[in-house]
Structure 1
Amino acid sequence: MAKVEKFGKFVGKYFTVAIVFWVIFNYFLPKTSTWIIPNISYLLGVILFGMGLTLRFKDFERIAKKPFPVIAGTVAHYLIMPTIAWVLCLIFQLKGATAAGVILVGSCPSGTSSSVMAYLAGGDVALDVSIETFSTLLAPVAIPSLLLLFAGKYVDIPAFSLFLSTVKIVLVPILLGVLVHSLFKNKIEWITKLLPLVSQLAILLIIGAVISANHAELLTAQTFLVIPVVILHNLSGYGLGYLFSKLIQLKTPQRKAITFEVGMQDSSLGATLALKYFVPAAAIPSTVFSIWHNISGSVLAVNWRNHDSKKSIKENNEVEKIVVE
């Protein structure tokens, strides 16, 4: 078990590198992941079941006791990210499935990587996890509604089917995970230690399937246009998320948590729904987002951590100077 945990930490440390390598590998050998395409929803279910295993019914009490930051962060996420996606589609004149894919990833709940980034940045991890949980539970209603509002002119939106699928893919695994954790408690502690590795491998498999499904369309002008759109989408989410949390006068650790929760998306869910309900090209924005937000999130988290360390050293030096004087 110790070796598996160590390997999981190694994969987590170099996860972005692993994603880039896996994308390149599947581009040149697309048949490697063809078998995964029909099974993507099961892989996502494994990820979300694992998320549920880390939660208890008591965790939902935290949301009830201090609802304002959780509700504010969730509202900010679902207000900012879909709107930015829609505006970017207008600015870059995206059409059809590509535009729908950008709006779809913008309409997804917060990304599972955000809690890791909040931890690395010295943010409020409990708040981060609460927003992530709350936004994910709202996904069955939020995703179809936001797609109808912003993407209806680009593609036909099967809203009710999306709702049912999101309930089945998202809510059922999470609630099953919570139930299993509540029933077996410490007996499944060894499983929770494996979850980061299992989730990372599942994400890699989903990305491989998207690359395989879109192999013929990856090196097109429309696809290359997605890259700057995704970068601007993610960075705007960080900026507006931080500004929003500052305007409502939250403390610095809470601002960091909301910044990551707003700017980072559940791109695996976006890719899964895109492949199920739209053409494969609609899954490309989610795949690019998955690569990019891990890079940008890591850079932001490290910079925040380094800034806090320098600030702490400066404050300590000033205190020592006052004491000496």
Structure 2
Amino acid sequence: MKNFVGWATSLFPLWVIIFSIWAFFEPDYWSSLSYLIIPLLSLAMFSMGLTLKIDNFIKIFKDFKIIFLGVSLQFLLMPFLGFTLVKIFSLEQLIAIGVILVGCAPGGTASNVICYLARGDVALSISLTICSTILAVFLMPTIFWIYTGSNIEIPFFQMIISIFKIVIIPVILGVFLNSINFIDLKKIKLCLPLIAVLSILFIITIIIASNSDQIFKHGPKIFLIVICHNLLGFFLGFFLSKKMKYSEKISRTIAIEIGMQNSGLATALAIKYFGTLSALAGAFFSIWHNISGPLIATYWKNKTK
């Protein structure tokens, strides 16, 4: 079993490419499964919880500087990168608004799964996601207004409910089961990387299928900007963390948390306040960071061996 799981997870980038092509050319079947995205994320988060104990979170919050660094980079670096890319590429106003809105968003929940696959600090990743999501209620509209002069309202209660359903409750259940020694989890834990890989793989496939028409119509320029935004977030998050003398494990975690945005929130807000054209950056970011994340996770996992 261990050898099979190792083989299957090591080929994650290949599965992503194959399923992405399948979703792009045969979108109808996969797009009909969009209702599975949240349950799949919750399953992945539950599997993350099975690898953790309460002490992991206590240790993180004792060194609050790490949380402060991650959240600061999230809300300072990514909006600035988005604004800079908008200026470099001279984007039309509505598309530019979408790019900046993605930059102002908190970390995405999928980052926690990618962090696990990359051999990062999962407890830190989850803590950063929760903190940035709560702070986004106040910081996201403020930073967005600074860069664009436009006002948006953040759906506070919907965000809190979502983070509870997708992240907090599944993680708590996993941590609880891992702490009470009620059942032997050794065999289950062997399968956890495969569960995480399959969850993210199906999420990527569904997202690509659901946006295949938009990719075809508006792809190249916006995709290039999204790729630059995401990769710069990864690189600078890792580089700055290393410069501040944090470990490889923590630097990976912060890089992933910075590079992977809650683009679903950005897309929803863009549609509500500015129209579908401004939502393209968020939709494309959802696709791309769910491809780049597994790729960088596989690279780091193999580097750790």
Conserved? CA contact 2:45–2:171, under 8 Å = yes
> Partner letter of residue 103 of structure 1?
G
Q: Percent identity?
A: 24
Deviation of residue 7 (structure 1)? 2.8
Structure 2 gap ranges (5+): none
For residues 177 and 269 of structure 1, what CA distance do their matches in structure 2 show? 24
Aligned length: 289
Deviation of residue 264 (structure 1)? 2.0
Alignment of 1:149-164 (within 5 A): 149-151=142-144, 153=150, 157-164=154-161
Residue equivalent to 1:288: 288
Residue equivalent to 2:126: 133
> Partner letter of residue 293 of structure 2?
H
2:141 counterpart of 1:148: yes
For residues 301 and 78 of structure 1, what CA distance do their matches in structure 2 show? 27
Residue equivalent to 2:172: 175
For residues 154 and 20 of structure 1, what CA distance do their matches in structure 2 show? 38
> Partner letter of residue 133 of structure 1?
I
The TM-score, its normalising length taken from structure 2, stands at 0.77
Residue 261 (structure 1) aligned to one of 253, 266, 269: 253
For residues 196 and 258 of structure 2, what CA distance do their matches in structure 1 show? 12
Q: Which moved more, 1:265-274 or 1:197-206?
A: 265-274
Residue equivalent to 1:224: 220
Structure 1 gap ranges (5+): 120-124, 307-325
2:125 counterpart of 1:113: no
Deviation of residue 228 (structure 1)? 2.2
Taking structure 1 as reference, are residues 25 and 158 closer, same or farther at Cα in structure 2, changes over 3 Å only?
A: same
Residue 50 (structure 1) aligned to one of 23, 47, 52: 47
For residues 253-301 of structure 1, what are the alpha-carbon distances to aligned partners after superposition, in whole Å with 9 as ceiling and x for unaligned? Answer: x1x3344223324999836656777568433212111212333555577
Residue 202 (structure 2) aligned to one of 186, 202, 205: 205
Residue equivalent to 2:38: 41
Corresponding residue SS for 1:187: coil
Deviation of residue 208 (structure 1)? 1.7
Conserved? CA contact 1:50–1:199, under 8 Å = yes
Taking structure 1 as reference, are residues 270 and 234 closer, same or farther at Cα in structure 2, changes over 3 Å only?
A: same
For residues 91-144 of structure 1, what are the alpha-carbon distances to aligned partners after superposition, in whole Å with 9 as ceiling and x for unaligned? Answer: 442635853773376643644323543x4xxxxx5xx33421321332431444
Corresponding residue SS for 2:32: helix
For residues 124-173 of structure 1, what are the alpha-carbon distances to aligned partners after superposition, in whole Å with 9 as ceiling and x for unaligned? Answer: x5xx3342132133243144444423457497643432232222222121
Residue equivalent to 1:12: 9
> Partner letter of residue 263 of structure 1?
A
Taking structure 1 as reference, are residues 39 and 147 closer, same or farther at Cα in structure 2, changes over 3 Å only?
A: farther
Alignment of 1:285-324 (within 5 A): 285-296=285-296, 298=298
Deviation of residue 15 (structure 1)? 0.7
> Partner letter of residue 185 of structure 2?
I
For residues 261 and 13 of structure 1, what CA distance do their matches in structure 2 show? 20
Conserved? CA contact 1:74–1:134, under 8 Å = no
The TM-score, its normalising length taken from structure 1, stands at 0.73
Larger radius of gyration: 1
Q: Which moved more, 1:41-50 or 1:53-62?
A: 53-62
